[in-house]
Amino acid sequence: MTIPAERLTLKQINLMAKTDFVEQLGGIFEHSPWVAEGVYSGRPFDSVQDLHAAMMEIARQAEPDQVLALLRAHPDLATRLAVSPLSAAEQQGAGLDRLTPEEFAQLTGLNAAYTAKFRFPFIFAVRGKTKEEILSAICERVDRSVEEEQEQALLEIGAITRFRLEDLLGAE
């Protein structure tokens, strides 16, 4: 996803050709442009909230394998591997780029246990959260059932993508 120098408007999004629409919105859902492609035919959207709701509906109604691929497209938190620019900015804002060696080791171990159990990385809307809140959440969530955690991961993706759309388009 290309982050424009200026915010786009909902009107501009509603008038875009499909290729431009997908280019602008394709990264809202981590490495999953199929979500933007899926909502294109639903234009025009009356609000950013309507656009977001339509995108979430596409994600939730996808085939189970595609939902799992969406979950797996998210990076581990505090990874030292390359992540998308949006993920990197979100994680830096939560202080995950400033973990102590002990915190990094703890989060790495918890991420590994979580991924082994659920088959997708721990997903958490980190904006406005502290590294302590993030560590607490993963400690709590690693003990949940697969069904509970998949639902929670989709709720977290909903929060992440709402923030990203509002950053791009405002909260119209």
| Angular region, 111: left φ>0, alpha ψ -120 to 50, beta rest | alpha
What is the rounded distance in angstroms from the CA atom of residue 86 to the CA atom of residue 107?
20
In the residue annotation, 74 being an active-site residue is answered as yes
- Token output for 13: 């999004």
What is the rounded distance in angstroms from the CA atom of residue 111 to the CA atom of residue 167?
28
Active-site position among 74, 131, 141, 164: 74
- Chain-centroid distance of CA 146 in Å reads 19
> Catalytic positions, please?
74
